[in-house]
Amino acid sequence: MVAALDGLVVTLDEPSNAGALRLRQGSALLLMVFAGLVLVQGLLHKKLSPVGFVLAMLAFALYTSRGGRFLRDWVPIALVFVAYVVTARAVPDLGVGVHYTPQIEAERVLSLGSLPTIWLQEHLYHGKTGVLEVFSIAMYISHFLAPLLLAFLIWAFWRGRGFTDLLYGILIVSLLGEITFVLAPTAPPWLAADHGLIPPVHHVIKQGLYDIGLTDLAARKDEPGSYNIVAALPSLHAAWPVIALLVIRKHRLPRWLFVSQALLVLGVVFAIVYTGEHYLVDAVVGCAYAFAAWWLLHAALRSGRRHQDP
pLDDT digits (tens, 9 = 90+) for 73-123: 887 777 777 766 776 666 666 666 889 999 999 999 998 889 999 999 999
pLDDT digits (tens, 9 = 90+) for 232-269: 999 999 999 999 999 999 999 999 999 999 999 999 99
The answer to whether the beta carbons of residues 195 and 241 sit under 8 Å apart is: no
Q: How confident is the model at residue 173 (pLDDT cuts 50, 70, 90)?
A: very high
In angstroms, the CA 275 to CA 8 distance is: 46
Region 52-60: mean pLDDT is: 85
- Bridge partners (DSSP) of residue 86 are none
pLDDT attached to residue 162: 92
Residue among 52, 41, 45, 53 at smallest CA distance from 215: 45
Residue type for 133, please? Answer: E
What integer best gives the mean pLDDT of the chain? 86
- Bridge partners (DSSP) of residue 99 are 186
The answer to whether the beta carbons of residues 159 and 69 sit under 8 Å apart is: no
Phi, psi of 114 (to 5 degrees): -100, 170
Q: Which residues contact 96 (CB under 8 A, 6 or more apart)?
A: 182, 183, 184, 185
Q: How confident is the model at residue 1 (pLDDT cuts 50, 70, 90)?
A: very low
Task: Kindly list the distances between the CA atom of residue 283 and the CA atoms of 103, 132, 233, 287, 294, in Å, as whole numbers in the listed order.
Answer: 11, 20, 8, 6, 17
Task: Kindly list the distances between the CA atom of residue 217 and the CA atoms of 126, 141, 176, in Å, as whole numbers in the listed order.
Answer: 22, 11, 27
Q: What angle do CA 53, 155, 256 make, to 5 degrees?
A: 90
The better pLDDT of the pair 189, 310 is held by: 189
Burial 27-49 (b: 16+ CB within 10 A, else e): ebeebbeebeebbeebeeeeebe
pTM of the model: 0.85
In angstroms, the CA 258 to CA 239 distance is: 16
Q: Which residues contact 286 (CB under 8 A, 6 or more apart)?
A: 177, 233, 234, 235, 236, 237, 238, 239, 242, 278
- The single-letter DSSP state of residue 92 is G
Phi, psi of 235 (to 5 degrees): -80, 110
Candidate from 138-142, 215-219, 278-282 with smallest mean pLDDT: 215-219
The answer to whether the beta carbons of residues 24 and 67 sit under 8 Å apart is: yes
Number of neighbours of residue 153 by Cβ within 10 angstroms: 13
